[in-house]
């Protein structure tokens, strides 16, 4: 049974990744990393973690624990400085290894990449479009995952001029660290755009599509869930046909019937994604909508999916895909 370590397990993505590792039939947890909780038992994160789990250790110690797969749920700069253990599969859930051009990190992430010569060693892996190649895996961003699931298979059918992606996410997308924009007084009864024209997922989306897009994210007054509505000049029927073909047989991505729209409620707390295609009657604009959970398919679920592929395990092992939510 392959062994696993989770770095940054005390954050939202780390906790969600840990939850999937614990439910995984073929992974054995051997190290829990958290600099803030080092030396404490697993129950310090959640009192429900009262089994025979390893105690928290510093992230550097968890990285060196000899695990066969390491999930790095760290901040961008901290992850960028990681030196992967030899022979291990490493899945980086941060943005530290998503962009091919190291010069883009200063502009979009606010820091100079400390190991630019290693970026080519990392595989940007969105399993349905580009499965991982090699042991070092850059897990896509949550917004980028939804946008690329919607537009990646049909990029050549779109007029690249004027593609617009209107995106909305729950507050957990901002992470666990306290900040003014995630206070209840700001979030509740409110919807607000943020990082307009400067969000770090924009170059990631452009890198895969092959052309820039207008990307505007918004904060929703919900805990979790993400929805993108993509507008492009294209034949909606051709777009639907291509997406149907791309995701035929997928256990993760569902193309919805013509009269059904994606909903956050159906994807929250799951690792699935829903896509629907519409045509605007007045303008002929193709509208592609994708909904997923920002912590599930947008982060932890996709990380486990990528690790499964890299390790040769069943692709959906440990994922949350079944059941009816009420």
Catalytically annotated residues: 142
How far is the CA of 235 from the CAs of 161, 190, 288, in angstroms?
15, 35, 11
Phi, psi (5° rounding) for residue 164?
-120, 135
Alpha helices in the chain (DSSP H): 12-23, 59-63, 76-80, 104-108, 142-151, 184-187, 201-209, 236-247, 264-267, 301-311
212 within 8 A of 162, measured Cβ to Cβ: no
Residue 80 CB partners (closer than 8 Å, separation 6+): 94, 96, 97, 105, 111, 113, 114, 115
Helix axes 301-311, 12-23, angle to 10 degrees: 50
Percent of residues in the chain assigned helix, strand, coil, to nearest 5: 30, 20, 50
Residue 192 CB partners (closer than 8 Å, separation 6+): 181, 186, 218, 219
CA–CA gap between residue 11 and residue 36 (Å, rounded): 10
Question: Angle at the Cα of 319 (from 140 to 249), degrees rounded to 5?
Answer: 80
227 within 8 A of 289, measured Cβ to Cβ: yes
3-state secondary structure at position 288:
strand
92 within 8 A of 137, measured Cβ to Cβ: yes
């Amino acid at each position: 049974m392959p062994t696993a370590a989770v770095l940054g397990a005390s954050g939202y993505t780390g906790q969600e990744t840990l939850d999937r590792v614990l439910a995984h039939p073929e992974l054995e947890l051997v190290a829990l990393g958290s600099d803030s909780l080092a030396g404490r038992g697993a129950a310090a994160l959640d009192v429900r973690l009262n089994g025979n789990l390893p105690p928290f250790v510093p992230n550097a110690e968890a990285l060196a624990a000899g695990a066969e797969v390491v999930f790095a749920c760290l901040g961008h700069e901290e992850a960028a400085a990681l030196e992967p253990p030899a022979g291990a599969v490493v899945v980086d859930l941060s943005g530290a290894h998503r962009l091919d051009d190291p010069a883009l990190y200063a502009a979009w992430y606010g820091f100079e990449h400390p190991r630019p010569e290693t970026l080519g060693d990392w595989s940007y892996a969105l399993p349905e479009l580009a499965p991982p190649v090699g042991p070092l895996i850059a897990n896509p961003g949550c917004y980028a995952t939804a946008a690329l699931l919607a537009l990646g298979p049909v990029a050549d059918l779109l007029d690249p001029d004027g593609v617009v992606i209107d995106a909305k996410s729950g507050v957990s997308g901002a992470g666990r660290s306290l900040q003014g924009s995630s206070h209840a007084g700001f979030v509740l009864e409110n919807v607000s755009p943020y990082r307009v024209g400067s969000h770090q997922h924009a170059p990631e989306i452009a890198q895969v599509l092959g052309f820039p897009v207008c990307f505007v994210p918004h904060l929703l007054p919900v805990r979790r869930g993400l929805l993108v509505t993509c507008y492009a000049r294209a034949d909606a029927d051709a777009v639907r046909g291509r997406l149907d073909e791309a995701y035929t047989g997928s256990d993760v991505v569902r193309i919805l019937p013509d009269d059904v729209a994606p909903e956050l409620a159906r994807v929250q707390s799951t690792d699935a994604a829903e896509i629907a295609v519409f045509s605007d009657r007045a303008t002929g604009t193709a509208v592609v909508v994708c909904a997923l959970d920002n912590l599930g398919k947008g982060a932890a679920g996709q990380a486990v999916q990528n690790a499964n592929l890299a390790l040769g395990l069943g692709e959906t092992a440990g994922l949350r895909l079944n059941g009816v939510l009420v």
